[in-house]
Amino acid sequence: MEDLAVRGRKARQMIIDEGLPPEVRTAIEQSYETVFGGRQVAVAVRSSATAEDLPTASFAGQQESFLNVVGKHGVADAVLKCLASVFTDRAITYRVHNKFDHMAVKGAVVVQLMVRSDLSSSGVAFTLDPDTGFRDVVVITGSYGLGESVVGGKVDPDEVQVFKTLLDSAEDPIIRRRIGRKQTSIVYSTDGSAGRTKTLQTNETDQLKPCFTDQDAKQIAKWCVDIEKHYTSLHKHDTPMDIEWAKDGITGELFIVQARPETVRAREKKDSLTQTVVSELGNTLIEGTAVGCDAAAGKVRVIEDLKDIATMKKGEILVADITDPDWVPAIRMASAVVTNRGGRTCHAAIVSRELGVPCIVGTKEATSLLKTGESYTVDCTNGNCGRIHEGLAKIEHTVIDTASLPRTKTKIQLILGDPDAALAHSNLPVDGVGLVRQEFVVANHIGIHPNAVLFPEKVTSEAAKLIEERARNDKSPKDFFVRKLSEGIGTIAASFYPRPIIVRLGDFKSNEYCRLVGGEGFEPSEENPMIGLRGASRYLHPDFKEAFNLECEALAHVRNKMGFKNVQLMVPFCRTTTEADGVLKALEDNGLKQGEDDLKVWVMCELPSNVLAIDEFAARFDGFSIGSNDLTQLILGVDRDSGDLASVFDEENSAVKTAISQAIAGAKRNNRLVGLCGQAPSDKPDFARFLVSQGIDSISLTPDSVIKVIRTVAAAEEEERESSKLELERNILKTIKEEKDALTTLIV
8 A C-beta contact, residue 342 and residue 322: yes
CA atoms 94, 96, 98, 102: torsion sign: positive
How far apart CA 456 and CA 171 sit, in angstroms, is 30
Burial of 732 (0-12, 13-18, 19+ CB in 10 A): exposed
Q: Which helix (H) or strand (E) holds 229?
A: helix 214-235
- The DSSP output letter for 558 is I
Q: In 3-state terms, what secondary structure has residue 172?
A: coil
CB-CB contact of 717 with 688 (8 Å)? no
Interhelix angle for 72-84 vs 22-36, to 10°?
Answer: 130
How far apart, in whole angstroms, are the C-alpha atoms of residue 177 and residue 519? 26
Q: In 10 A of CB 29, how many CB atoms?
A: 15
Three-state DSSP at 748 gives coil
Cis peptide upstream of residue 130 (ω within 30 degrees of 0): no
CA angle 361, 244, 484 (to 5 degrees): 55
Please name every residue paired with 337 in a beta bridge, in sequence order, or none if there are none. Answer: 318, 359
Candidate list 224, 346, 347, 425, residue with the active-site label: 347
Beta bridge partners of 256: 245
Smallest CA-to-CA distance from 582 within 546, 611, 620 is with 620
Cα separation, 569 vs 201, in Å, equals 47
- Cα separation, 728 vs 669, in Å, equals 23
> Cα torsion at 13, 16, 17, 21 (round to 10°)?
150
Q: Are 286 and 387 in contact (CB under 8 A)?
A: yes
Buried b (16+ CB within 10 A) or exposed e, 397-416: eeebeeeebeebebbbbbbb
Say if CB 376 and CB 318 are below 8 A apart: no
Q: In 3D, which of 51, 160, 164 has the Cα closest to residue 104?
A: 51
Residues listed for the chain: 748
| Amino acid symbol at 538 | R
Quick check: 627 and 659 in contact, CB under 8 A? no
Nearest to 199 by CA among 119, 145, 142, 143: 145
CB atoms within 10 A of CB 253: 12
DSSP element (H, E) containing 124: strand 121-126
Three-state DSSP class for residue 186: strand
**Strand locations in 304-445 (E):** 317-320, 336-339, 359-361, 375-379, 385-390, 394-401, 411-416, 433-437
C-alpha span between 115 and 212 (Å, rounded): 15
Q: How many CB atoms lie within 10 A of CB 99?
A: 7
Residue 677 among the catalytic residues: yes
* C-alpha to C-alpha distances, 150 to 131, 175, 202, 747, nearest whole angstrom: 17, 21, 14, 95
Neighbours of 728 (CB within 10 A): 10
Q: What is the bridge-based pairing of β-strands 411-416 and 698-701?
A: parallel
Catalytic residues: 347, 677
